[in-house]
């Protein structure tokens, strides 16, 4: 193992005297320079030639890296666009699982109301072929006559080919999403659809026709079958060639291709081919315009040209569309993406500079040659006269260079010196063809260092840093490179063919720093722990290696003090994803992409609506509705939850005050995060929301999870008392899933105890679960709290909760989270049902039917 360290003389206070004996030698050398100037000229011209060549190579490498970056961006855009098509097919499958009797009119309205029609301009047509068991054929035929797909009335239902089979594959839903067409083409549209009727007739059994192999392939594989629309048209019989011609005229100006995906009884495709074939429920057929799909990609990358192709299971790739025209001198890349590498993109990226790398190399070499000529001339004139001045400057420069390379407090190498040394080691490793694990960079910082500074002063902290540096030098050995690269952050660089295990390096650093420190002005020994991150292997630059080590250090600190983490490539990807998601969330807040849905809560005795819980949702411009669990943790981590939470409070209060004015005096519960409770700003936000909306404070409930309460019980309790002073109510959410005790619960000004859905589910599965819910309800009553059960999904759970005298509840048995217009309609219908039903059965009576 070879390790390197900074100049040991620095640690003893001796200045770096390199160059102190140079003035006399330098003076003699300069006096001889005049006679050797012609030799210097020749050498300079050779250097110019080499530099020009190196410059050309560097520019060529930069162009290649830039091309790779642009190609990667294009690949991401295409993968995202093609993935959106898969999401659309999955959404259709989910929609049909909820409403199997969906009509074509409802199907079209869903496509329009979800915003997909406006956002997915590449979607030309969307259809669903249903797997119809023989026993359901008559019902399907009646439904088809009343509600044919695409609105094309075929008169009577006629099965083609006739005959009894166990299952039929029949088209049940279909819609067109063509770009606006002039009135003159409306007749052509009708003619084309009429000609194509033989293919899209719902009576045509596609499992016993030309499309059967495509359906079977999609059902067996579990992934999409894709190809140009011409492939699908090519399956038509000779008598239907007129349909092919008419369809070609209809899609003139487009580049259509189709995706065929199977829909199964389960959310994900079964594991085996036999199971997939048995459980297929239908097929979603999407016709997309490759030209519309590629145009945004080409438009966002100036001068880029793209060929999009699809690689079938067998045979050569099929070109779907070409966008843009390659410029002369463009660099070409071939991309293969998605899970099976079936999508191919040929990308041409234009050069970023007007001059070619060779031309730039010639320009650089010529510039250096001109400089050498001027330098030689200057040296011949000034060499002897400036000898003494140069010698003095050399001494001064040596001292300045030493100061620039070392930390003034510890004498260790500073950040710049560490990076420079690592860069040289990386270059040497690449030149020698060294193994990827021949270099390790260890970074560590001292846990709780700020607290020590605050408690005893900066002079004590400085002493600790110096002694910590000494210990790290001992870990690396007499030739170790140890540097201080931040306030309390150190770096240790180890290089060699037989490196210790990265975990052993981290353990050695932690063990050295864990020994007690004896510091002046501090009574007794001081214990210190260290968080450590390690990155190994060759990188393009020292900054890249340090970046990866810092990522590992951040992961270690996130796990708690005295932890060590070795960098893995997926950590960097996770950091990039978090950064991108945080940027998207900032855009979402600025552009109003967040919205609220409301889940009603009920009085379990009379089953009337008593309130709603406001729930945050995100309508992403390309991904659609994003579930909260995918973005709320990033809101918390970044602190954006404070701004978003302020908007949620104001919007929820405004909406509920509007319902009050309409005659629905419900309360609203708003979830508040731990980040919001860290300062007094939450009190100002709640007060502002109440004042601006005009809502009665008693109608607002602030919900806090049990784990948030236990972060800092004293300060949280004080902040809750300030909120209670405004007149609002406080609820503890997910109670029972954390670690609070009754003694802690009594400290908080709480009004409502929400029982977590996991306990509600368990109460009907075991006597222990029922006993636990009983205990929680009795605890709430003993403390004078309202008890509210979450996640009520069936009648038996409702019956058991009523028997335990739980006060309120919410869950899918009653209602799912609803948009504001649907929520007010639900409250009106519920009030009408209760008014017409009369008094409910007494508490604890057996369930008799659906409650909502």
Chain position carrying tokens 């490793």: 429
> Which residue from 718, 723, 717 is spatially nearest to 745, judged by alpha carbons?
717
CB 660 within 8 A of CB 690: no
Which residues, other chains included, contact 815 with Cβ-Cβ below 8 Å and sequence gap of 6+? Answer: 599, 600, 826, 852
Tens digits of residue pLDDT in 574-622? 777 778 888 888 998 899 999 999 999 999 999 999 999 999 999 999 9
CB 622 within 8 A of CB 84: yes
Mean pLDDT of the region 306-321:
80
The rounded Cα 236 to chain-centroid distance in angstroms is 44
Tens digits of residue pLDDT in 342-390? 778 888 888 766 666 777 777 777 888 787 787 777 776 666 556 555 6
pLDDT of residue 698: 96
CB 87 within 8 A of CB 261: no
Mean pLDDT of the region 624-634:
89
Sign, CA torsion 759/763/765/771:
positive
CB 730 within 8 A of CB 702: yes
Asked if residue 405 has pLDDT above 50, the reply is yes
Q: In Å, what is the CA distance from 691 to each residue of 399, 645, 650, 687, 719?
A: 66, 16, 9, 6, 19
% of residues, the chain, pLDDT over 70: 81
Architecture of domain 76-293: 2-Layer Sandwich (3.30)
244: its two tokens:
């092919």
The rounded Cα 132 to chain-centroid distance in angstroms is 39
What's the rounded Cα separation, in Å, for the pair 366 and 282? 70
pLDDT of residue 289: 81
pLDDT of residue 646: 94
> Angle at CA 660, nearest 5°, toward 654 and 661?
95
What's the rounded Cα separation, in Å, for the pair 611 and 780? 19
Mean pLDDT of the region 813-829:
95
Asked if residue 440 has pLDDT above 80, the reply is yes
> Which CATH number describes the domain made up of 579-828?
3.20.20.450
Enumerate the domain spans of the chain. 21-65+356-402, 76-293, 404-567, 579-828
Tens digits of residue pLDDT in 739-771? 555 656 777 889 999 998 989 998 888 888 888
Asked if residue 134 has pLDDT above 80, the reply is yes
Which residues, other chains included, contact 333 with Cβ-Cβ below 8 Å and sequence gap of 6+? Answer: 67, 68, 71, 346, 347, 349
The rounded Cα 820 to chain-centroid distance in angstroms is 29
Give the single-character DSSP code of 413: B
How many C-beta atoms surround the C-beta of residue 798 within 10 A?
23
CB 263 within 8 A of CB 93: yes
Tens digits of residue pLDDT in 204-225? 888 887 788 888 888 888 888 8
CB 409 within 8 A of CB 403: no
pLDDT of residue 332: 82
How many C-beta atoms surround the C-beta of residue 452 within 10 A?
20
Interhelix angle 820-837/640-661, rounded to 10 degrees, is 40
Question: pLDDT averaged over the chain?
Answer: 80
> Which residue from 781, 783, 752 is spatially nearest to 610, judged by alpha carbons?
752
Asked if residue 244 has pLDDT above 70, the reply is no
Q: Is the pTM of this model over 0.85?
A: no
Q: Is 400 left (phi over 0), alpha (psi -120 to 50) or beta?
A: alpha
Chain position carrying tokens 């309205």: 109
Give the single-character DSSP code of 845: P
The rounded Cα 29 to chain-centroid distance in angstroms is 62
What's the rounded Cα separation, in Å, for the pair 840 and 626? 39
Mean pLDDT of the region 118-130:
80
pLDDT of residue 613: 96
Tens digits of residue pLDDT in 561-578? 889 999 888 888 777 777
Residue 482's pLDDT band, with cuts at 50, 70 and 90, is very high
How many C-beta atoms surround the C-beta of residue 119 within 10 A?
14
Asked if residue 265 has pLDDT above 50, the reply is yes
What's the rounded Cα separation, in Å, for the pair 257 and 92? 19
Identical topology for domains 76-293 and 579-828:
no
For 394, the enclosing helix (H) or strand (E) is: helix 387-405
Residues, the chain:
852
> Which CATH number describes the domain made up of 404-567?
3.30.70.270
Which residues, other chains included, contact 789 with Cβ-Cβ below 8 Å and sequence gap of 6+? Answer: 604, 754, 755, 760, 773, 797, 801, 806, 808, 809, 810, 811
Burial level of 635, CB count in 10 A (0-12/13-18/19+)?
A: buried
258: its two tokens:
């189709």
Which residues, other chains included, contact 250 with Cβ-Cβ below 8 Å and sequence gap of 6+? Answer: 178, 188, 189, 192, 193
> Which residue from 282, 263, 248 is spatially nearest to 169, judged by alpha carbons?
282
Tens digits of residue pLDDT in 654-670? 999 999 999 999 999 99
For 735, the enclosing helix (H) or strand (E) is: strand 729-735
CB 833 within 8 A of CB 609: no
Q: What is the DSSP string of 627-682?
A: PGGGTHHHHHHHTHHHHHHHHHHHHHHHHHHHHHHTT---EEEEE--TTGGGSTHH
């Amino acid at each position: 193992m070879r390790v390197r360290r900074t100049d040991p003389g620095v640690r003893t206070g001796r200045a770096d005297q390199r160059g102190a004996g140079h003035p006399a030698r330098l003076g003699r050398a300069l006096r001889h320079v005049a006679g050797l100037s012609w030799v210097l000229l020749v050498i300079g011209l050779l250097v110019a030639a080499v530099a020009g060549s190196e410059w050309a190579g560097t520019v060529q490498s930069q162009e290649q890296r830039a091309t790779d970056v642009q190609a990667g961006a294009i690949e991401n855009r295409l993968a995202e666009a093609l993935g959106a098509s898969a999401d659309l097919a999955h959404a259709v499958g989910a929609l049909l699982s909820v409403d199997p009797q969906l009509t074509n009119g409802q199907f079209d309205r869903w496509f329009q109301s979800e915003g997909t029609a406006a956002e997915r301009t590449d979607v030309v047509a969307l259809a669903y072929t249903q797997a119809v068991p023989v026993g359901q054929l008559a019902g399907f035929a009646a439904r088809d006559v009343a509600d044919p797909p695409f609105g094309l009335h075929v008169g009577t239902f006629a099965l083609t080919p006739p005959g009894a089979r166990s299952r039929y594959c029949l088209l049940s839903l279909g819609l067109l999403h063509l770009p606006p067409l002039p009135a003159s083409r409306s007749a052509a549209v009708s003619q084309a659809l009429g000609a194509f009727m033989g293919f899209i007739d719902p009576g045509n059994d596609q499992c016993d026709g030309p499309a059967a192999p495509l359906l079977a392939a999609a059902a067996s594989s579990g992934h999409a079958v894709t190809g140009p629309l011409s492939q699908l048209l090519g399956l038509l019989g000779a008598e239907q060639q007129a349909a092919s011609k008419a369809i070609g005229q209809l899609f003139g100006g487009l580049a259509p291709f189709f995706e065929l995906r199977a829909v199964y009884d389960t959310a994900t495709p079964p594991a085996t081919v036999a199971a997939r074939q048995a459980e297929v429920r239908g097929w979603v057929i999407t016709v997309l315009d490759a030209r519309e799909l590629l145009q945004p990609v080409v438009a966002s990358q100036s001068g880029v040209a793209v060929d999009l192709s699809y690689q079938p299971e067998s045979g050569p790739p099929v070109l779907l569309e070409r966008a843009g025209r390659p410029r002369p001198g463009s660099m070409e890349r071939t991309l293969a993406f998605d899970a099976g590498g079936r999508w191919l993109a040929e990308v041409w990226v234009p050069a970023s500079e007007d001059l070619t790398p060779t031309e730039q190399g010639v320009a650089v070499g010529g510039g250096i040659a001109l400089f050498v000529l001027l330098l030689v001339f200057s040296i011949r004139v000034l060499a002897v006269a400036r000898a003494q001045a140069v010698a003095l400057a050399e001494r001064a420069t040596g001292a300045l260079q030493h100061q620039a390379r070392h930390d003034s407090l510890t004498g260790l190498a500073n950040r710049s010196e560490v990076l420079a040394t690592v860069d040289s080691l990386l270059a040497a490793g690449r030149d020698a063809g060294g193994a990827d694990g021949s270099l390790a960079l260890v970074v560590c910082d001292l846990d709780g260092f700020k607290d020590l500074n605050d408690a005893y002063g900066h002079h004590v902290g400085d002493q600790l840093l110096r002694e910590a540096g000494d210990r790290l030098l001992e870990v690396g050995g007499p030739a170790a490179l140890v540097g201080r690269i931040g306030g309390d952050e150190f770096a240790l660089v180890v290089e060699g063919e037989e490196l210790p295990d990265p975990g052993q390096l981290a353990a050695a650093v932690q063990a050295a720093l864990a020994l007690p420190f004896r510091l002046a002005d501090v009574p007794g020994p001081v214990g210190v722990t260290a968080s450590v991150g390690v990155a190994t292997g060759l990188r393009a630059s020292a900054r890249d290696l340090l970046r990866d080590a810092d990522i590992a250090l951040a992961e270690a600190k996130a796990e708690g003090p005295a932890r060590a983490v070795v960098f893995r490539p997926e950590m960097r990807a996770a950091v990039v994803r978090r950064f991108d998601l945080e940027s998207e969330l900032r855009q979402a807040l600025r552009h109003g992409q967040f919205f609220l849905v409301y889940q009603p809560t009920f009085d379990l005795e009379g089953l009337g609506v008593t309130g709603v819980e406001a729930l945050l949702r995100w309508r992403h411009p390309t991904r659609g509705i994003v579930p909260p669990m995918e973005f709320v943790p990033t809101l918390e981590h970044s602190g954006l939850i404070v701004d978003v939470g302020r908007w949620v409070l104001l919007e929820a209060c405004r909406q509920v005050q509007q319902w009050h004015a309409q005659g629905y005096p419900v309360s609203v519960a708003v979830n508040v995060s731990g980040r919001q409770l860290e300062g007094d700003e939450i009190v100002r936000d709640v007060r502002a929301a109440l004042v601006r909306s005009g809502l009665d404070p008693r109608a607002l409930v602030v919900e806090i999870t049990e784990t948030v309460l236990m972060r800092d019980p004293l300060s949280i309790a004080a902040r809750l008392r300030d909120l209670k002073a405004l007149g609002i109510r406080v609820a503890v959410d997910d109670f029972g899933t954390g670690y609070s005790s009754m003694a802690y619960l009594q400290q908080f000004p709480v009004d409502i105890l929400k029982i977590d859905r996991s306990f509600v589910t368990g109460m009907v599965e075991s006597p222990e679960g029922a006993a636990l819910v009983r205990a929680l309800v009795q605890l709430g009553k003993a403390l004078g709290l309202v008890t509210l059960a979450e996640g009520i999904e069936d009648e038996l759970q409702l019956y058991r909760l009523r028997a335990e005298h739980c006060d309120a509840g919410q869950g899918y048995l009653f209602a799912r989270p609803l948009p504001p217009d649907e929520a007010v309609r639900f409250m009106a219908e519920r009030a009408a049902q209760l008014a017409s039903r009369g008094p409910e059965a007494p508490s604890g009576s057996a369930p008799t039917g659906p409650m909502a």
